[in-house]
Chain A
Amino acid sequence: MTLVNKVANKEVNKTAGTKVDGRPGIGNGDAVLQVEDLAVEFTTYGGIVSAVRGVSFNVKTGRTLAIVGESGCGKSVTVQSIMGLIPMPPGRITSGRARLKGYDILGRKTVNGKDIRGSEIGMIFQDPMTSLNPTMTIGDQIAEPLQIHRGYSYRRAFARAIELLELSRIPEAASRARQYPFEFSGGMLQRAMIAMAIACKPSILIADEPSTALDVTIQAQILDLMQDLQKETGMAIILITHDLGVVARMADDVAVMYAGKIVEQGTVDDVFYRSAHPYTLGLKKAMPNNDPARQHTLQPIEGSPPDLFAPPPGCAYCPRCPYSMHVCVPNDPEPVVVGEGHYSRCWLHHETAPEKPPELFFGRENSRPPESAND
C-alpha cells in the first residue's frame, strides 16, 4: 500500500492546507490519515538518535491500526510527531509528510481553521494523570475543548461533558464530573481521558499504550469501550502497544515497528497467521500460546534492540535474526509486497534468496505478488 501511495502522491500539491486529490471525503475504509516516509531525529547529550527512520502508513476510517514494537522502537515518537507533540529542539522531523483528509498537517496546528489536536485528532496516553490538570474538575477539563473548538457555552459544554462521561461508562457521571483527577482511580481516569479525547468527535483517536498501566480486568473494560465508541462514531483508531494480545483483540491493521522502521504491515490476520518478517515470527514464538492445541516452548529473540545512536547500515534486526544472510549486514531491505496490503522488509523475500523458511509467509504461490496487489 505504502509503496503505491508514494508513487501516487508524487504529483501532489505541496502547499499546506490545500486539497490534494479533489475528493477529501471520508467514507468507510478511506484513508483518513496518510503518513509518508516520516523520519524524526533527536539531538541528545550522546549524539543524534534516529528515532524514526522513514515510516509510511495509512489509517482508514472506522478501522484500527495497531503499531506494535518494543520500547525505544519509535512507535510513540511517530504519532507524537504527527500530533506536533515532539519538543523541537531536541527533536527534528527530517523528512516525510502526514496528510489528514488530504491536508498536510505536519508541523501545523490547524487545518481548515480547525485545531488538529483535540478537534481532529484525539489522543489518550499511558498515564492519564500526567495529561490532566490536577487543579480542575474532570467535567471542566472535558468541557474546555468544547468551548474552545466548538464555541459551546460553559453550561452546554458541561452538560455535554456529563454525557460524554456517561458514554465512557462512568457511573454517576453528573457527580463524578465535579470531582478532581485525584479522586479517580486509574481505570476511571483513562475513561475520563477517552471522554475528553472524543469530545469534539475527532476523526482519529490515537491511543498510546492506553491500557499498559492497568490491570487485565480494567484493560478489558477500556478496550471494549474504545471498540464500542469506534462502532458508534466511525472514527479511526491508532493503537500503540507492545502487547500482541491487545493487538489481536483490537486491531484491523497492524504495523510492526523495529528500530525506527515498519518491518511488516498488513491486516491483523496477515501479521498473526501469515507472518512474513522474522521479527514478527520471533515475537510470536517468544510468547506463550494459550491454545492447548498449539503449545510450544518459548523461543526468545536473542540479544537486545540496536542502539539508535548509530543505526546499522543494513537490516537492524540482522544481529538477532536466525535467518541472517550476508546481504543483510550492509544493505537495508526495501518493503516487499507479499499479499494485498501486506508487506515485509526482509531480504528473504528477494527473488535471489534461495532459502524460503517454511514458517514465514511468502505470498500465495511462494513467489512475487501479482501486479494487481497494488490497488
Chain B
Amino acid sequence: MTFAPADFTRLNQKQDVELITRPSLSYWQDSWLRLKANRRALVSLYIIAAILFFTLAGPWLWPVNPAAQDLDQISQPPGAERTAIVVPPYQPWDGTALVQEAGSRDTEGQEAERPETGFRLAAPATTQGVRLSWEPLPGATGHRVYRNLFPVGEELAFGVPVAEYFTNDALFFEDRLDVQPGTYYYSLVGLDERGNLLEVFETIAVDVRRVITVEEALEKGLVAQAAALEPGDEVELALHPLGTDYIGRDMLARLMAGARVSLFIGIGAPVLFVLFGVIFGSISGFVGGRVDAFMMRFADFVVALPFLLFMILFKIAFGIGPGESGVMPMLVALVVLMWPATARLVRGQILQIREQGYIGASQLLGARTNYLILRHMIPNTMGVILVTITFSIPNAIFIEAFLSFIGMGVAPPTPSWGSMSNEGIRNMLTTPHELIFPAIMISLTVLAFNLLGDGLRDALDARMRNTE
C-alpha cells in the first residue's frame, strides 16, 4: 500500500468521542423488542389476545343464552345433522290403526320395506315416537320390549327394558321416552306365564328421524310464519357450532361464559394477590427490622397452611347460598392464600434495591420515603411483578378449573371451564366433545400464559441486559 503525504496530515476536526450511535431505548422498549424476537412468546401473546377477544367480544358476536336448553339437540357433537321434517301435531295411538301419519314423499321408500308380520314398525320412526307392533312369539304368553343404542350381538345385550306385557292382548308399543335422532335397536323377547324370559326373541334396527311440528318451529323461532310450512317440509334446527351439552345448552356460548368466569378468577385473583403481595413485601422490605421479621413470619404461616385443604375449607366456611355462583368465595380464598410468594419476592427485591447507590443518592437529595418507594423501588421491581403475575395467572386458572372439576369450585349452573369439564366427563365416551372443548381451552390458556411468562422473564431480566 502506498500513501500520499496528504494522508498523514492531522485530522483537524476533533472527533466526537462522547457520541453514542446506538438508538436510545427505554427499558420497556428494549424489553418489547426482546419479547418480539422470541417467537414462542409472541405466538402466546397472540393466543392470549385471541382468548381475551373470544371472552369479551364473543358474547356479542354469538348472542346465545348459555343457560338456554335446546331439548331437540342434546349432547349433539359439532357439525351434527340438524334438519327436521315438519309433521302435524302428535296424535295418540291406540295400536290398531296403521295410518300413514308421517306419510310423506321421503318415507315412502322405507314404508315399502316395512314387513307386514313379525316384530315391526307400525309407522315411520320419528322423534315424536317409535310405534312398534308384533304377532305373539311362539310359546310366549307375554312380551318384553328392550331398547339399545348398540346391536344386540352374541352376548344378547338387549339394553334397557321399555315395556312389558304379561298377556298377548296388547301387541303394540309406542316408545316416546327421550327419542333422539339416530339408530336404535329394539328387541322383543317372549315371556312365560310367570313372567320369566323365554329364549325366543326378535330384534329390529330402527332409524329415527327428527320431526318438528309447525307450532314448535314457530315457538323456537325457526320460521317466521306458520303458513310457510307444510307437513313434509324440512327445517333447520338452531345452529350450535360446537355442539350442545348433556342438557342441550350451546357449547360455544357456554365456553364464552365459562371463559368469563375462569379468566375473571384467573386474572382477577393474581392481580389482587400480587398487588397485596407487593404492598406487603415492600413495606416489610423497606421498614426492615422487627416489623420485617414479624411480617415475614406471618407470610411463612400462610405458606404453611395446606393449600388445597384450606381452599376447600374457605369455600365451605363462606358457603354458597341459593343462586350464588361461588366465584367470589373462590376469588377471596385465592387472594388470601396465594399472596406470600409475591410478598417474599418483592421484599427480596426491595432489600436488594435499598442497597443500590441511587437510593442513597436520592436520600441525600432529600427524597421522602414514598418518593423512594414509588419512583425508585416499584419501577425497578415492575419487571419481576409483571413476570409473577403472568406466571400466577395459569396457576390460578388451573386451581379454579381443578376445584370446579372436583365440584368444590364454581357452582352449577354457572359455567366455568372447570365445571364444564366436570359435566363433560360423565359423557366422555359417547359425546367426548363436551369434555374436550373446555379442556382445550384450559390447556391452551395455561400454556400460552406460561410461555408468555417465560418470554417476559427473559425479556425483562436485567441480568441478560448488556450493561455497557
What are the interface flags for B424-468 relative to A under an 8 Å C-beta threshold, 1 for contact and 0 otherwise?
000000000000000000000000000000000000000010101
A326 interface residue (CB < 8 Å to B):
yes
For residue B5, which residues in chain A have a CB less than 8 angstroms away from its CB?
Answer: 352, 354
B27-47 contact mask (Cβ, 8 Å, vs A): 1 or 0: 000000010010000000000
B219 at the interface (CB under 8 A from A): no
Whether the Cβ atoms of B17 and A326 lie closer than 8 Å is no
A326–B7 touching, CB < 8 Å: yes
Tell me whether B3 and A327 are in contact (CB under 8 A): yes
Q: Mark B5-28, 1 if CB is under 8 A from A, else 0.
A: 111111100010110011000000
Known: A324-B11, A327-B8, A350-B8. A304 touches B3 (CB 8 A): no
B1 contacts partner chain A, Cβ-Cβ < 8 Å: yes
- A residues less than 8 Å from B34 (CB atoms): 45
Interface of chain A: mostly helix, strand, loop or mixed: loop
The B-contacting residues of A in range 315-368, CB under 8 angstroms, are 318-320, 323-329, 331, 347, 350, 352-355
Q: Which of A319, A320, A325 contacts B8 (CB 8 A)?
A: A325
- Residue in contact with A326 in the complex, picked from B11, B22, B464, B466, CB distance below 8 Å: B11
CA distance A373 to B8 in the complex (A): 26
Is A302 close to B, CB under 8 A? yes
A352 to B8, CA, bound (A): 7
B15 contacts A324, C-beta separation under 8 Å: yes
Contact of A319 among B7, B17, B37 (CB under 8 A): B17
Which of A44, A302, A325 interacts with B10 by CB under 8 Å?
A: A325
Complex: A318 Cα to B7 Cα, angstroms:
14
Closest to B465 in A: A45
Which of B7, B17, B21 touches A352 (beta carbons < 8 Å)? B7
A72 at the interface (CB under 8 A from B): yes
B17 touches A323 (CB 8 A): no
Supplied contacts A307-B22, A320-B17, A354-B5, 16 more A-B pairs, CB within 8 Å: A304-B17, A304-B18, A307-B468, A318-B15, A325-B7, A325-B11, A326-B6, A326-B9, A326-B11, A327-B7, A329-B11, A347-B8, A350-B3, A352-B5, A352-B8, A355-B10
A292 within 8 A of B: no
Knowing A319-B17, A320-B17, A352-B3, say if A46 contacts B466 (CB, 8 Å). Answer: yes
Q: Interface of chain B, helix or strand or loop or mixed?
A: loop
Q: Complex: how many Å from CA A108 to CA B131?
A: 88
Give Cα distance in the complex from A347 to B10, angstroms.
Answer: 11
| Complex Cα–Cα for A125 and B10 (A) | 42
Chain A residues positioned under 8 Å from B4 (CB to CB): 352
For this complex, 19 residue pairs linking A to B, each with C-beta atoms less than 8 Å apart, are A45-B37, A45-B466, A302-B18, A303-B17, A304-B17, A307-B21, A320-B17, A325-B10, A325-B11, A326-B9, A327-B3, A327-B7, A327-B8, A350-B8, A352-B4, A352-B5, A352-B8, A353-B8, A354-B5
A160-194 at interface with B (beta carbon < 8 Å): none
Checking B10, B18, B22 against A324 with a beta-carbon cut-off of 8 angstroms, the contacting residue is: B10
Closest to B12 in A: A326
**Least distance between B87 CB and chain A CB atoms (Å):** 71
> In whole angstroms, how far apart are the Cα atoms of A47 and B7 in the complex?
33
Which residues of the other chain, A, contact B7 by a CB distance below 8 angstroms?
325-327, 352
The distance from the CB of A13 to the nearest CB of chain B, in whole angstroms, is 32
* Shortest Cβ gap from A3 to chain B (Å): 16
Question: Which of the residues A44, A319, A331, A353 comes within 8 Å of B15, measured between beta carbons?
Answer: A319
In the bound complex, residues from chain B placing their C-beta under 8 Å from that of A325 are 7-11
Contact A72 B17 (CB under 8 A): no
CA distance A325 to B10 in the complex (A): 4
In the bound complex, do residue A331 and residue B1 qualify as a contact, i.e. CB atoms below 8 Å apart?
A: yes
In whole angstroms, how far apart are the Cα atoms of A352 and B3 in the complex? 7
Once the chains bind, are A72 and B466 in contact (CB under 8 Å)? Answer: no
* B residues less than 8 Å from A326 (CB atoms): 6-9, 11
Residues in A neighbouring B1, C-beta threshold 8 A: 331
User: Across chains A and B, which 6 residue pairs bring their CB atoms closest together, nearest first?
Assistant: A303-B17, A327-B7, A302-B17, A319-B15, A353-B8, A324-B11
- In the complex, what residues of A have CB within 8 A of residue B15's CB? 318-319, 324
**Most chain A CB neighbours (cut-off 10 Å) among B3, B9, B17, B34:** B3
CA distance A179 to B418 in the complex (A): 56
Q: Which residues of A contact B466 (CB under 8 A)?
A: 44-46
Bound CA–CA A44/B1 (angstroms): 35
Provide the bound-state CA to CA distance between A72 and B4, in Å: 34
Asked whether A354 lies within 8 Å of B8 as measured between CB atoms, the reply is: yes
- Give complex CA distance A375, B411 in Å: 92
CB nearest neighbor in B for A329: B11
Cα distance, A72 to B467, chains bound together (Å): 12
A45: min CB distance to chain B, Å = 7
- Residues A303 and B8 in contact, CB atoms below 8 Å apart: no
Chain A residues positioned under 8 Å from B10 (CB to CB)? 323-325, 355
Q: Which B residues lie within 8 Å of A318 (CB)?
A: 15
**Residue among B1, B4, B11, B464 having the largest count of chain A Cβ atoms under 10 Å:** B11
Nearest opposing residue in chain A for B464, CB measure: A45
CB distance from A278 to the nearest CB of B (A): 13
Residues of B within 8 A of A323 (CB): 10
User: Distance (Å) between the CB of A356 and the closest chain B CB?
Assistant: 11
Instruction: Quote the shortest CB–CB distance from A71 to chain B (angstroms).
Output: 9
| Cα separation A347 to B11 with both chains bound (whole Å) | 13
Distance of A303 Cα from B8 Cα, bound (Å): 23
Tell me, in angstroms, the Cα distance from A18 to B7 when the chains sit together: 46
Chain B: CB-nearest residue to A309: B22
B154 to chain A, nearest CB (A): 65
- In the assembled complex, the Cα of A303 lies from the Cα of B16 at a distance in Å of 8
CB distance from B404 to the nearest CB of A (A): 42
Within 8 A of B (CB), among A268-327: 302-304, 307, 318-320, 323-327
Chain A residue contacts of B22, Cβ below 8 A:
307
- Say how far B25's CB is from chain A's closest CB, in angstroms: 11
Q: Which B residues are in CB contact (< 8 Å) with A320?
A: 17
**Residues of the A chain whose Cβ atoms lie less than 8 Å from the Cβ of B464:** 45
A302 to B19, CA, bound (A): 11
How far, in angstroms, from A319 to B5 measured CA to CA in the complex? 20
A47 to B143, CA, bound (A): 86
Which residues of chain B have C-beta atoms less than 8 A from A302's C-beta? 17-18
Distance in angstroms from A351 CB to nearest chain B CB is 10
Residue among B9, B21, B34 with max Cβ neighbours from chain A (10 Å): B9
User: Which of B15, B21, B22, B37 has most chain A Cβ within 10 Å?
Assistant: B15
* 0/1 interface trace, chain A 21-48, chain B, CB 8 Å (1 if under): 0000000000000000000000011100
Chain B 378-393: CB-based contact to A (< 8 A → 1; otherwise 0): 0000000000000000
What is the CA–CA distance of A50 and B4 in the complex, to the nearest angstrom?
31
What is the CA–CA distance of A46 and B17 in the complex, to the nearest angstrom?
A: 22
Measured CB to CB, the closest approach of chain A to B455, in angstroms, equals 14
User: Complex: how many Å from CA A46 to CA B6?
Assistant: 38
Say how far B436's CB is from chain A's closest CB, in angstroms: 40
Report the Cα distance A243→B152, complex, angstroms.
94
- Distance in Å from the Cβ of A332 to the closest Cβ of chain B? 11
Q: What is the distance, in angstroms, from A309's C-beta to the closest C-beta of chain B? A: 9
**Residue of B at shortest CB range from A326?**
B7
Q: Which residues of A contact B17 (CB under 8 A)?
A: 302-304, 319-320
Residues of A close to B3: CB separation below 8 A: 327, 331, 350, 352
Bound Cα distance from A329 to B3, whole angstroms: 13
Assembled-state Cα–Cα distance A353/B9 (Å): 8
A63 to B37: give the CA distance in the assembly, Å.
49
Complex Cα–Cα for A313 and B259 (A)? 58
Q: Of residues B7, B22, B466, B468, which shows the largest number of chain A Cβ atoms within 10 Å of its Cβ?
A: B7
